[in-house]
């Protein structure tokens, strides 16, 4: 995942994170009094997935980190990426949504003040080891999805997850992969897909054809080929959020129809 490319494809002018646009755009440039702005660096901002992004964010919060142009850009891009995926930090729930222009306002001041407030200082001194332990304990959580699911469906998601994760602790892309997996798991019996009478609940808004079309679109979230990743990245965060909500609606309907009282 190229975080710069992700940011430029998804950020909008009315987003809070747009205030970092120029800094991110010019991270590789430097002003020369004779030639003006010129590209002098080749900083790359790539992570494999959300888990690696969280690890990188923790690294930036370590007490010995000095923020130069590159590390500041990392802070902006990681904050935007994790926020877009629906993450928040439990202890600082607004941080990813509204990161400061100066990263040290969080990585030094906010963290230090919170440790002191919790009684973790040594007569006003917050030691590096204490800050490292505090950063290691920061909990990154996926915000609640718009559509609630009951315990029986939650258990189905946990059962099919490769890491036994609850639905709300999955990234958006992981949710889409597992929704597709669960739809197949619920509908496929003895190698064939069941046909249910969706009209009894959804009128004409959910059909065999619409579910088949949805599942085909979700294939890219279930695989890690270059083609699949490119297809995933072509969707906006708003489109992915819609896919999650629509997929949950389909799952709930299948659950009801396939398990009549």
Three-state SS annotation for 6-55: HHHHHCCCCCHHHHHHHHHHCCCEEEECCCEEEECCCCCCECCCHHHHHH
The pLDDT value given to residue 123: 85
Task: Give me 194's structure tokens.
Answer: 């069941």
**Is the torsion defined by CA of 157, 139, 221, 197 positive or negative?**
positive
Task: Give me 79's structure tokens.
Answer: 């904050």
CA distance 199 to 124: 66
Q: What is the pLDDT of residues 124-179, one digit of tens each?
A: 889 999 999 999 999 998 776 667 777 788 888 888 887 777 787 788 888 999 99
Rounded to a whole number of angstroms, the distance between the first and last alpha carbons of the chain is 45
Cβ-contact 95, 79 below 8 angstroms: yes
Q: Which helix (H) or strand (E) holds 188?
A: strand 188-189
Number of separate helices (H) and strands (E) present in the chain: 13, 6
* Residues linked to residue 32 through DSSP beta bridges, in sequence order: 36
Please compute, for residue 241, the number of CA atoms within 13 A of its CA located in the half-sphere on the CB side: 12
Task: Give me 95's structure tokens.
Answer: 């941080």
Based on its alpha-carbon atoms, the radius of gyration of the chain, rounded to whole angstroms, reads 22
Q: What pTM, to 2 d.p., does this model score?
A: 0.62
Angle between helices 226-233 and 208-222 (to 10 degrees): 120
Q: Which helix (H) or strand (E) holds 39?
A: strand 36-39
CA distance 180 to 213: 11
For 49, 79, 244, the CA distances from 168, given in Å and listed in that order, are 17, 19, 11
CA distance 82 to 79: 5
Domain ranges of the chain: 3-142, 151-258
Q: What is the pLDDT of residues 70-126, one digit of tens each?
A: 999 999 999 999 998 889 999 999 999 999 999 999 999 999 999 999 998 888 889
Q: What is the pLDDT of residues 168-223, one digit of tens each?
A: 778 888 899 999 999 999 999 888 999 999 999 999 999 999 999 999 999 999 98
The pLDDT value given to residue 236: 85
Cβ-contact 187, 234 below 8 angstroms: no
CA distance 140 to 125: 27
């Amino acid at each position: 995942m190229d975080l710069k490319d992700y940011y430029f494809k998804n950020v909008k002018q009315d987003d809070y994170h747009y205030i970092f646009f120029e800094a991110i755009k010019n991270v590789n440039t430097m002003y020369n009094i004779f030639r003006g702005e010129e590209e002098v660096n080749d900083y790359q901002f790539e992570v494999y997935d959300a888990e690696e992004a969280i690890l990188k964010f923790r690294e930036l919060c370590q007490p010995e980190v000095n923020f130069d142009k590159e590390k500041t850009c990392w802070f902006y891009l990681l904050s935007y990426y994790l926020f877009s995926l629906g993450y928040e930090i439990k202890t600082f729930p607004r941080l990813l949504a509204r990161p400061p222009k100066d990263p040290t306002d969080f990585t030094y001041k906010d963290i230090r003040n919170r440790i002191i407030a919790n009684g973790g200082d040594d007569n006003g001194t917050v030691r590096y080891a204490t800050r490292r332990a505090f950063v290691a304990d920061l909990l990154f959580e996926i915000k609640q999805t718009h559509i609630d699911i009951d315990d029986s469906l939650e258990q189905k998601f946990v059962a099919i997850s490769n890491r036994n994760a609850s639905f709300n602790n999955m990234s958006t892309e992981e949710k889409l992969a597992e929704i597709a997996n669960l739809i197949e798991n619920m509908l496929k019996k003895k190698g064939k897909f069941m046909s249910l009478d969706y009209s009894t609940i959804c009128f004409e808004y959910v059909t065999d054809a619409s579910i088949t079309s949805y599942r085909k679109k979700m294939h890219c979230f279930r695989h890690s080929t270059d083609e699949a990743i490119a297809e995933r990245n072509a969707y906006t965060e708003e489109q992915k959020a819609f896919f999650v909500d629509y997929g949950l609606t389909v799952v709930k309907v299948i659950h009801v129809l396939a398990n009549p009282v």
